[in-house]
Amino acid sequence: MARKTTNREGALQDLIGQLEDTAKQAGDRISEYLAEARVRERLADAADAINDVRLAVLRRIHGEPPVKPTEEKAARAAVPLEDMTIRELHKLARDRQVPGRSSMSKAELIDALRDG
């Protein structure tokens, strides 16, 4: 009877070791995904900043007065969220510091912006 117990304990120890390895791998993957999401969010922020500069340059080229950031935000606020593009929603979410915005769908962004 002692031998069966030892075999069972050994099998359980092996199983525990496998589960610990699997948990570590899953944790590593989650960390990688979170890092990728942060990079995507930073890239989206940089793209938005570049687009803002591009629009400011175009306004200047065409002799239009510069738009103050508060006026631009007010103009965006007047547009229903459903009518905004996902890029516009991401920018608004960035301005409002909505956490997790980079991985949200359009519907999730709208809900988060309304709740925030």
pLDDT tens digits along 62-85: 888 776 655 555 555 567 888 888
Candidates 91, 94, 90, 116; CA nearest to 104 is 90
Tell me what pLDDT residue 49 has: 79
Distances (CA, A) of 34 to 22, 80, 101: 18, 31, 12
> For residue 104, what pLDDT band results from cuts at 50, 70 and 90?
very high
Tell me what pLDDT residue 69 has: 59
pTM over 0.75: no
Tokens of 32: 């990688």
Query: Looking at the predicted structure, is the pLDDT value of residue 4 above 80?
Result: no
Mean pLDDT across 85-104: 88
- Number of folded domains in the chain? 1
Phi, psi angles (nearest 5°) of residue 107: -65, -40
Q: 2-61 and 86-95 helices cross at what angle (nearest 10)?
A: 100
Which residues constitute the domain of residue 43?
Answer: 2-115
CA distance 73 to 10: 64
Q: What is the mean pLDDT of the chain?
A: 81
The string of pLDDT tens digits covering residues 14-27 is 888 898 988 888 88
